[in-house]
Amino acid sequence: MEIKPDPSTTPATATAGMIPQPGERNYPEDRWGRRAWELLEKIRRRAPLVQCITNFVSMDLMANVLLASGASPAMLHSLQEISDFTPGVDALCINIGTLSEDWLPSMRAAAAAAAEAGRPWVLDPVAVSASDYRMEACIGLLELRPAAIRGNASEILGLVSSSRFRENKGADSSHESSDAVEAAKSLAQSTGAVVAVSGAIDYITDGRMVVAVRNGAAMLQKITATGCAVTALIAAFIAVEPSGALEAVACALSVFGIAAELGVEAARGPASLRMHLIDSLYGLNEDALLSRVSIFSHA
Ligand SMILES: Nc1ncnc2c1ncn2[C@@H]1O[C@H](COP(=O)(O)OP(=O)(O)O)[C@@H](O)[C@H]1O
Ligand SMILES: Cc1ncsc1CCOP(=O)(O)O
Ligand SMILES: [Mg+2]
């Protein structure tokens, strides 16, 4: 389904929480919401198999977020298993968070196997600017044609400039997501991937169009691996909508953000938010989703 922007929609007609900011246009009524619900329902119905080659920190949260969404996670990274397993998955998520020389060959082999089998794969370039080794690994992986790349602003800026940052903060961002919109567009154009920059506002682009998602909770930054987990959720959404990656990525980020918004209402801090985030994603219903989706076309 193609979603066409409706420039006539004004802040006066938008619902609370969905008021477009300067430079943003809304889509007609709740069409993004319906799209997000349709894709979430598809995940719940089909339980797509998502292989994750990810860092040690994120394995648990990533697998639980996938399960709560309705997807089926498989944290499988042995080089010996790739040729048997990866061609049969619905999507693959590769995350370089705790990269080592043992795992990089598995990542390359899995990305190549997925691409060869026509399965979408998604890259999370965690802390790509922390070392030359990480940067070179990521640049090599980009040649294997990811369907999507999701990183924070510092990661997307670093990947585009292939440079290490003086103000390097490791896995956390030292930039605002809005700082990296142009970099994301250029990365999308050079790789053919849909690129998402996460942050207070998430920006998603195919190199031409930019979509902004304003769901989420600032406290997510105080729970490790929430970025990793949303990248895996993006893989699940692309698994059920491989020919509409831009929409799938925007809907995944919005759904995750909504689960966090609902979770925050019940949480007392990051530890309980982690639990409520998973519960809210698992129990997310159509009404809550439709009333909270906040996705805009960004000028
Ligand atoms: N200030 C914020 N307000 C609302 N949501 C946020 C904020 N910062 C990050 N998020 C959300 O947290 C999740 C992880 O994003 P981010 O922190 O940018 O990734 P990473 O953990 O890789 O640095 C995303 O869903 C993003 O939308
Ligand atoms: C802290 C840390 N160190 C290596 S990987 C990792 C987790 C990063 O997770 P996220 O990118 O989601 O914050
Ligand atoms: Mg990250």
ipTM: 0.99
Residue with tokens 């995750």: 256
Task: Say if ligand 2 is within 6 A of residue 230 CB.
Answer: no
Please tell me the distance from the alpha carbon of residue 84 to that of residue 285, in angstroms, as a whole number: 37
Query: Model's pTM, two decimal places?
Result: 0.93
Q: ∠ at Cα 16 (211, 210), nearest 5°?
A: 5
Does residue 71 line the site of ligand 1, with CB under 6 A? no
Residues 40-95 have pLDDT tens digits of 999 999 999 999 999 999 999 999 999 999 999 999 999 999 999 999 999 999 99
Return d(Cα 163, Cα 154) in angstroms, integer.
10
CB 247 less than 6 A from any atom of ligand 1:
no
Which H or E element spans position 25? strand 24-25
Q: Give Cα separations from 141 to 40, 52, 136 (angstroms).
A: 28, 15, 9
pLDDT in tens, 22-44: 666 666 546 899 999 999 999 99
- Specify the DSSP element, H or E, that contains 291: helix 286-292
Average pLDDT, the chain: 91
Strand blocks (E) in the chain: 24-25, 49-53, 72-74, 91-95, 121-124, 148-152, 194-198, 202-205, 210-213, 295-298
pLDDT band at 13 (very low <50, low <70, confident <90, very high): very low
Ligand 1 center to 11 CA (angstroms): 25
Helices H / strands E in the chain, number of each: 11, 10
pLDDT at 251 over 80: yes
Report the C-alpha gap between 10 and 266 in whole angstroms. Answer: 32
Q: Which amino acid is at 125?
A: P
Whether 199 lines ligand 1, by a CB cut-off of 6 Å, is: yes
Residues by chain with Cβ below 5 Å of ion ligand 3: 126, 227
